Structures are given as C-alpha cells and as structure tokens.
Amino acid sequence: MKLINTNHHAMGTLRLSAFLLLFCFSFQAKLVAQQQENQLAMIAHSTTDSILLRWAPGSFQLWQQVRTKGLQLSRQTMMRDGKLLPLAERQQTTVIAQDLRPAPLAAFETAGATDDFVAIGGQAIYGESFLPQTDDADEVSLGALFNGATDQENRFSFGLYAADQSWQAATLLGLGYTDTNVRDNETYIYTLRGATGDLTNLDTKYSAFVTVKAGSNVLKTKISSLEAEFEDKVGVLSWDVEVARDFYTSYFIELSADGVSWERVNEEPFVPVFKENQRPIAFYQVPLPENNRPYFMRVIGRTPFAQDAPPSNVVQGMGKDPLPETAPSIAGAFPNEEGGFDISWTFPNDIPVNNFRVFRADNAVGIFEPLSDLLPGDARNFRDEAPMRVNYYQIAVYDQYNRELRSFVIMAQPNDTTPPETPVNLRGIITDDGKVILNWDANTEEDLLGYRIWLANTPQEEFKLATSTPLVNDYYIGETTLNTLTSSLYAKITALDIRHNPSPFSEYIEILRPDTIAPAAPLLKEVTSTTEHLDLYFATSRTPDIEQHELFRRPAGDTVWQLIRTLPFPDEKEADHYRDTDLAPGLTHEYRLDAIDRSGLRASSDVLQGKVIDDFIRQQVKKVKATPDRREHTILLDWTYAPEDDKFLHFEIFRNVPGKNPDIIALHQPPTAPSSGKKAAYQFTDPGPLKMDTDYEYRVRAVYSDGGLSRLSPAVSVNY
C-alpha cells in the first residue's frame, strides 16, 4: 500500500514540536500521566446540545486491538434534575455506537486534502512506513530525527497527536464520538467495550468509562499567568502549565502590533515538553519584526476536543537593541595637587547611553561601592577627592534601557613611604615529621601586601629568608631537619605594604624541635635464683633526657609483658637491683628493662631468663583433728589443705603408737580434684585394727605427681 497523497503538506511541514510528541504525546500525557498499558483513558465535554467523547489506548498493542475488534459505546442514565434515579433505571444500558473503528483510506484521503491532521492520522494507520520524509524546501529532516524510534511508536504517537488537534481526525481515527441524543437535565455514564470480542487484558475497573452531565457547556479556564521578557527582536513568553495541562494539550501563540488585530505565530500547535522533576513552566520565543516598537502577545490553549480556549492575559513590550559591544576603557587615574585622583575614560560617542558611574573598592576582588552619582552620558572624567591608601576603580555605563556594562579594573594609590606595623604575637611549633607551623596576629593596614618569615638555628647567627614571596595569610607552613644536634629553631617576621615598605623585625621566638632519637638502651646484667626469689641486677640508661625506667616480666613462651616496677627520674640513676618474690618454683620467667625519654621514645634491654629453684618441698598440712568412734571401731581424721598447683596427687596417712616410728597406713585420694591454691576440707576414716584404751598418733603428707612432697603434718594424739 502506498502512502496517502494528502500528506504532502502535513508531513512535509511538520516541525520539531510535532517530533517531540514521540516522547510526550499530549492527550495521553494529560489524561493518563501514570496510565498502564492495559488502560483505555476516556474524557468527555458537554455542550448545550451534545456531549463530545474522546479516548486513548495506553499502548500500541491495545490500539491494534481497538482498530481490529472495534469499540462498542454504551450509555447509562444516572441522574435527572439533580436526583439519583432508581436502581432499575440506572442499570438500563443503551448502545449508542455499535462498531467504532478507523474510517477507510478513502475517507482520510478526501478529508486530508483540507485538514493536515487528518492526513497525519491516515498516514499513521495506512502508510507503508511511518518514517516521515521532507521535501527539498524543508529545514528539518524528520526522517533523520526518527531514525532511533520504532515504526509502531511513531504511528501510535502521531495518531494520538492528530486526534488532539482535529476533531475530524479524532472521529475518523475511531478515537472520538459526538452524542447528540442527550437531555440537558441528565447525567450519564459512558462505557467502551470491544465490539466483536473482549479486548485482551483491558483494565475495566479503572478505565474505559466516564461520567458527564449534559448541557453544562463550561468554558475552560483561560491562562492568566502569562509573562514576557524582551531581547533583541525576540519576546520570550512563559506561563505556568501546572493547572493548564489539565485542560489543554497544546497552545497557539498570537502577536499584535496594535492590540486589536492578531496573527498566529505558530502554524503547528505548540506542545511543551518537560524533563522529569522539572517545574512545568512553558517557554516560547516570539520573533519580533523590529526593536523599540511595542508589541502585544497572548496564548490560546487547545483542548483534546480540538477546541480553542479564550485567550490568555495580554503582555506588552518591545525588543531591545543588543548591549554595546564596547565597555568603557579607563585611560588612567592621575594624582592631583590636592591629594586626590583624576580618573578619565574613553567610550564611543555614537553609541546611545543614559549615564556613567564610578565604582571603587579596596581590593581587586572586593565589593565595589558607588563612588559617584549617575554622571551624564557625555561625561569622560571624575575626581576622587578623598582616595584610600589603596584604590581599585571601575567605570559602569548604562545604555538606553538602563542595562549596565562595566570596564576593567585599575589600581591607584598615593605616594607612601610609611611601613606597616611590626607583626605581633608570633608563635609556632615543629611537628614530628619536621613541619614548621607559625602564626601571628594579622595586621590591619589597608595597603598590606603580606609577610616574610626569617629562620635561624641559633639567635646569634644571621637569620635567613624562608619565604620566596610575601605571605598573604597570617600563617606559615615550612619544613626543617630533625637530624641535628640543635634542639631549637628561631624565627622572626616582617610585614610589607604594596609599595614593599618593610616593617621592623619582630622579636625572635624559640621553637623546640621534637625528639626523634631513642635513648641509649639500659643493661640487664644477670638474674640469680634462690628457692624463695629471683634477684635482678641492671645498669640504667645514662641518656640526659630520661624520664623513667620500666621493668617488665612475663612467663617464658608468653607474648604479654607485665609491668612490675617503675623507676622515675632521678631515683632510677641510683637503682641497680630488684628482687622478685612470690614466684612459683620451677617456672621460667623472662625480664626486660626499658628506658623512656621525655618525648616518649623507648629503648629496651636484652631479655634475660630466670626461675626460682624448686626443692620439691610443698606446703605442709598444718593441723589434723582425730576423733575416736568406739561404737564403729574407727578413728575419723579431719584437715584442710590448699594444693600449690595442679600437680597435686593424693595424701599419705601415717599412724604410730607414741615412741614408735610412724608408718603409712593408707593413701587417700580426694573424691574430686582439688583446685590449685584453693583451700578445701578433707576426711579419712581409719578402720583399724585398733586396740581399746590405746594411744595413737596420726600424721598427713601431701604428694605431687612431679615428685614434690610436703613435710609431715604435726602429730595429733588420740586415745581409743
């Protein structure tokens, strides 16, 4: 099928505003901003004798179903004379259109000869390809613009666009219907359904119906927020469409030279396009025939029913000539005999201007304040009778529209041989990485240029300049070496004005260098052992800035050192011995002695080991109690004991008659393993054989698995 012939003008002259509808075609955007693809949006407009109905599918796929299956339009009457009708009457449904679908190609060809939008609609349905081309006279090649879009989306978008702009196109596309059989005192619900079968996945809960009261004929609100700004032969219109887009899908702009006769500026309806989260303000540039002549402008909104709304408020203005291409040029600021400055400038005489004005600031990037009143347009000089110590001048010219254009800045200052004050309160530090940081109280002179820093290692030597250029801030950051025997650095400061007059030197300050050299390590000479304690002999460090010594101990094989003694200055200089007591015998311990200087730097001795000599004599059972039980023919022994370590094994029980050597009568194993170092109560029952009226002596000894034995407990006597 070839393209319809009537599109030679419609498709050929379609401009960028139409192209943008690919991204935001108006009816769909207005009706269903968040419409799902399976919805059929529907709106209505009531006139005095009819109701106009418009609808739009949410996707090309749904549009295909509508075109293939057709639509059935039905109506129900809900209210009459403002009162709700009985349920039975409300449920009566009247089919007012049985099969709504696009008209044949011939109908589009005939109507498209006089209606460009009908031609566009016909092209969207019946054209072989919807990649529009232009003729030789066109400025925009829509074929190139549409290269990235699909043919389906092109057809869908432009079909809806054409229906928005022409009611004839809407009805021929099967997207609009006029119901003339209405009564002005009734309210209706209109419903769309498939004519020859249900529309697949159509959302009938939230779409495909609309409620409207007949006979209302309410005019849409006109745009009342129109504003304009004027430039060189251009008027830039702007208006808020936050509310307007609920009524209008596009706009026409009109221009008038007298406010009575109006001409439309845009042949094609203008459709604003907005980015996401952008405030909906529409802008349109209206070309003006000439500058300096007043023109009137207004905007007319167009509804989805191709009806024009009343015109907006009228804005008036005129184009302005461009800003002068040349700004004032300051020829110079010359000192006069009265101590002021005569400022002169040049500016072309053939450029119409209203005024000049002189501005002044105390620095080149400061705030320029007006120095003069408005000077006449032929002024070319001005006298500053009371200049500051430093002056920056700028000339502003105001054109016939009172727009401002400024010159470059020049600097001028009176002759000055007075130096600035000497900076005060100089202070500083040297960090651990060798950074020298100085600061001071800032000077307040207006003509201050900056500061210079001078450094030396001793106050007697010549101070050297440390800053190649004057410092503009009231601080200095430099570097110095820390690998030196000189413990201090000395600093001075001077200030300079913009004429390089130097202030006297400040008093020097002393800054201590941080200590980065660790002290000499102390010497741990030897460790001697006894069965009771360990004796450590050492020699402390003799580095002058020692703050203290610290002695550490840890069990051999452990990784954590325990501080057991601190030797502060100056006591540490006399110390050479430490006795470590209350140590478990046989357990090896390691020792280390550290020296710490005033900067916190630390040096450690070699590590020595030692252990208390183990004689395998363990703690004695102190007291045993013996109680005879003649009825049971036994003697009960009671005692308490705290094992020294977890190598405890059992007790040995000794018995004898007075005057005889004690013999082991039993090995007593406690029922539960006793805890090391924790005292517990123990009992043993001697079952005999025992003789009546006989004295016995008992003793108890603790036995350890490593061969350690306690001494025999003191003898306890009992008469059986």
List pLDDT tens digits, range 9-56: 333 333 333 333 333 344 444 444 445 788 999 999 998 889 999 999
> For the chain, which domains are there?
7-213 (no CATH), 227-317 (2.60.40.10), 329-412 (2.60.40.10), 424-509 (2.60.40.10), 523-610 (2.60.40.10), 617-719 (2.60.40.10)
Using CB atoms within 10 A of its CB, is residue 687 exposed (0-12), middle (13-18) or buried (19+)?
A: exposed
- For the stretch 106-165, pLDDT in tens is 999 999 999 889 999 999 999 876 655 544 544 444 444 444 357 888 888 889 989 988
C-alpha–C-alpha distance, residues 661 and 666, integer Å: 16
Residue 218 binned pLDDT confidence (cut-offs 50, 70, 90) = low
CA gap 580, 592 in Å, rounded: 13
**Look-up of token digits 């232009």:** 134
Backbone angles phi, psi at 59, to 5 degrees: -155, 165
In 3D space, the residue among 674, 682, 625, 681 whose CA is nearest the CA of residue 647 turns out to be 674
Segment among 132-146, 580-594, 679-693 with least mean pLDDT: 132-146
Distance between CA 435 and CA 179 in Å, rounded? Answer: 90
Lowest mean pLDDT among 595-599, 641-645, 675-679, 698-702: 675-679
Mapping DSSP to helix (H, G, I), strand (E, B) and coil, where does residue 368 land? coil
Q: How far apart are CA 4 and CA 118, in angstroms?
A: 11
Q: Taking a C-beta distance cutoff of 8 angstroms, is the pair 324, 395 a contact?
A: no
Q: What is the pLDDT of residue 140?
A: 44
**In the block, residue with structure tokens 């079952």:** 687
DSSP states of 688-708:
----TT-EEEEEEEEEETTS-
Highest mean pLDDT among 93-107, 238-252, 512-526: 93-107
Lowest mean pLDDT of 165-169, 294-298, 570-574, 696-700, name the range.
570-574
DSSP H stretches of helix in 166-269 = 167-172
> What would the pLDDT profile of 86-100 be if each residue is shown by its tens digit?
999 999 999 999 999
Average pLDDT score over residue span 640-653: 89
Spatial separation of the C-alpha atoms in residues 439 and 114, rounded to whole Å: 85
The residue ranking higher by pLDDT, 274 or 424, is: 424
pTM: 0.49
Residue 202: CB atoms within 10 A of its CB come to: 20
Angle at 156 between CA 123 and CA 193, to 5 degrees: 110
pLDDT in the model for residue 146: 47
**Range in 117-131, 257-271, 450-464, 525-539 with the lowest mean pLDDT:** 117-131
Is pLDDT of 62 > 50?
A: yes
pLDDT at 380 over 70: yes
- pLDDT the model gives residue 309: 87
Q: Which helix (H) or strand (E) holds 184?
A: none
The answer to whether the CB of 369 falls within 8 A of the CB of 359 is: yes
Cα gap 113→44, rounded to integer Å? 28
Length of the chain: 720
Please tell me what DSSP assigns to residue 67.
H
